[in-house]
Amino acid sequence: MDKKEPYSKRNPFTVPEGYFPQLEKRVMRRIGSELQAGQVVGKGMPFQSHPGPRAARLPLRKRLLPFIGAAASIAIVAFIAQTWPDRGRDEAEALQLDHMISKEYAEQGAESAYDYLLLDNETIYEYATEE
Amino acid sequence: MGKEKDLLKRLSEPTTRREAFAEVVHTYSRPLYMQIRRLVTWHEDADDVLQNTFLKAWSAIGNFRGDSQLSTWLYRIAMNESLTFLQKRQAQEAVAEPAETAAWTLEGDPYFDGDKAEQLLQEAIGTLPEKQRIVFCMKYFDEMKYEEMSAVLETSVGALKASYHIAVKKIEAYFQASD
């Protein structure tokens, strides 16, 4: 076939009347609608430089969601960082207070015991016979 | 400044890109359509593949740096789209004989005005595997050089020569069998 080429190279295919002008309009319309919708078809596409329309269609709540999440995370970390040493200090203070109270009660108990031991026999009998 | 260079400059600017792309569609729709039509046979399919070709080109035009000619780049997209389409169609029509499908379509196709010999050639082309079909059409109808085909199909010249040779043998055998 290379040498003889006995078969026609004529293009036997035709198109409907007015096909190409209509095709151009259809292609450009589809491109226009994709631009409006901000569809992402491929890497490096021209739409990438115009992310605005897609973002603008999202509700405010959804657009702010990532920022709210980030702010909440930062607040939790900051709270833990600030309160962690205080909690340690509070625990130490509480232990010290417990110790002081215990000591005070212990001292009071000893004093009561001393008072009791210092009572004379008559007073003891009076306490014992009281109804 | 050359015409293509000027077009590429306008395609690279977001403000002029759409207008410049309309020019691309206007310039290349006919030659690309004929390439695609020879491969997929039916007008409706060629229309779908061509639209997809332009949409793919539009979505990737931001990456086109002019390393190859714009026509070569568009040709490559069109061939890839055609190949994808043919593979899908082959999977769908696995039961039917390709030649039977092509002949039936061409007989009833109002957009085919070929004679019996041209119809037989289209039937023969329809029996080729997708890649051989593309190589045959590019070489036989478009008379492209192997080096140009290599740039479009990203295949070595040696492989293209072998593919074309096998395609020609198959078509000749098809004609001999139909005599």
Percent share of chain B, pLDDT over 90: 56
DSSP state of B13: S
For residue A34, give how far its alpha carbon lies from the nearest alpha carbon of chain B (Å): 10
Other Cβ atoms within 10 Å of B147 Cβ, number: 9
**Could you say which DSSP state residue B16 is in?**
T
Q: What is the ipTM metric for this complex?
A: 0.82
Q: Which amino acid is it at B34?
A: M
Which DSSP category does A12 fall into?
Answer: -
Task: Name residues 36-95 of chain B within 8 A of A (Cβ).
Answer: 37-38, 43, 47, 50-51, 54-56, 58-63
Predicted confidence (pLDDT) per residue in B21-48, tens digit: 999 999 999 999 999 999 998 899 999 9
How far apart (Å, rounded) are the C-alpha atoms in residues B145 and B139? 7
Closest CA to B116 of B172, B46, B169, B179: B179
- What mean pLDDT do residues B139-158 have? 92
Asked if B58's CB is within 8 angstroms of A31's CB, the reply is: yes
Entry pTM? 0.63
**What H or E segment, with its residue span, contains residue B148?**
helix B146-153
Give residue-wise pLDDT tens across range A80-130. 777 665 555 566 666 676 676 666 666 665 555 555 555 566 665 666 666
CA–CA dist B71, B152 (Å, integer): 10
B114 contact residues in A (CB cutoff 8 A): 8, 10, 12-13
Please give the average per-residue pLDDT across B113-129, as a whole number: 87
In b/e form, how buried is each residue of B16-51, taking b as 16+ CB within 10 angstroms? ebbebbeebbebbbeebbbbbbbbbbbbebbbebbb
d(CA B131, CA B91): 15
**Cβ under 8 Å to A: B residues 100-159:** 111-115, 117-119, 121-122, 140-141
